Amino acid sequence: MQKYGLIGYPLKHSFSIGYFNEKFSSENINAEYVNFEIPNISDFMEVIEENPNLCGLNVTIPYKEKVISFLDELDKDTIAIGAVNVIKIIREKGKVKLIGYNSDIIGFTQSIQPLLQPHHHKALILGTGGASKAVFHGLKKLGIEGKFVSRTARFGMYTYEELTPEIIKEYTVIVNCTPVGMYPKVDICPNILYEYLTPDHLLYDLLYNPNVTLFMKKGQAKGATTKNGLEMLLLQAFASWEIWQK
């Protein structure tokens, strides 16, 4: 039986295990998907060595960047992003080859593209983690200039305190790549100037629990278009499977 899995820590809110095991069952695929909750990235190679039937992995927080040093190869998009969320494991003649991919960029671009309008030229990307890097490169592919917003001052980025009404007017796409507003802390949202949002704005939240975050509600109150990250999650899972099978 083939094995696939997810590495991260903690893995309490893993979507992948339910999705893939349901897929394997309904499509009569002789495979299983398991969670590998590893407290340290140094345990990564142990997972590979102790599971000889492991064919592929998904990678989640906090290892999307840390895992790269263990891989033999990265695909082109992944090199640019600097974050991995899919690993293809190739075993030949007793040797193991690990190739890193990023399906977040695929899921995000396919999900946001139908919502984009001609006036959407610039985007604020809230957060600076692995997912935000995939979002930045996905937007770039779609012809949209992204600017990161960070809690701490960094070169070439805005801090939340630096956001002005003029910046909010100029950047009509805003993507939340932070965990702020995720269940159970549903009564908080990223600290942006919501009062200056308009119907020209598009607010995309990578979170999907709750279904409508406070970030999205505040956008909807101003007539903005909003979307959560559930479709992106599904699309990146489809892409993971395609990567493992090709």
Q: What is the pLDDT of residues 174-221, one digit of tens each?
A: 999 999 999 999 999 999 999 999 999 999 999 999 999 999 999 999
Domain residue ranges of the chain, discontinuous segments joined by +:
2-102, 105-229
Same fold yes or no, 2-102 and 105-229:
yes
For the segment 67-96, the average pLDDT, to the nearest whole number, is 95
Is 64 annotated as catalytic? Answer: yes
| Lowest-confidence pick of 12-16, 19-23, 38-42, 90-94 | 12-16
Q: Domain 2-102 is of which CATH architecture?
A: 3-Layer(aba) Sandwich (3.40)
Alpha-carbon span 117 to 202, nearest angstrom: 9
* Both structure tokens of 9: 């820590």
111-166 pLDDT, tens digit per residue, is 999 999 999 999 999 999 888 999 999 999 999 999 999 999 999 999 999 999 99
- All residues at 6 or more sequence positions from 84 whose CB lies less than 8 Å from its CB, including other chains: 59, 64, 65, 67, 68, 71, 74, 78, 100, 101, 102, 130
- Reduced to 3 states (helix: H, G, I; strand: E, B; else coil), residue 197 is coil
Q: Which amino acid is at 148?
A: F
Residue in 3, 12, 64, 76 annotated catalytic: 64
The gap from C-alpha 162 to its chain's centroid, in whole angstroms, comes to 25
26-55 pLDDT, tens digit per residue, is 999 999 999 999 999 999 999 999 999 999
Sign of CA dihedral 47, 98, 237, 232: positive
The gap from C-alpha 184 to its chain's centroid, in whole angstroms, comes to 20
CATH number of the structural domain 105-229: 3.40.50.720
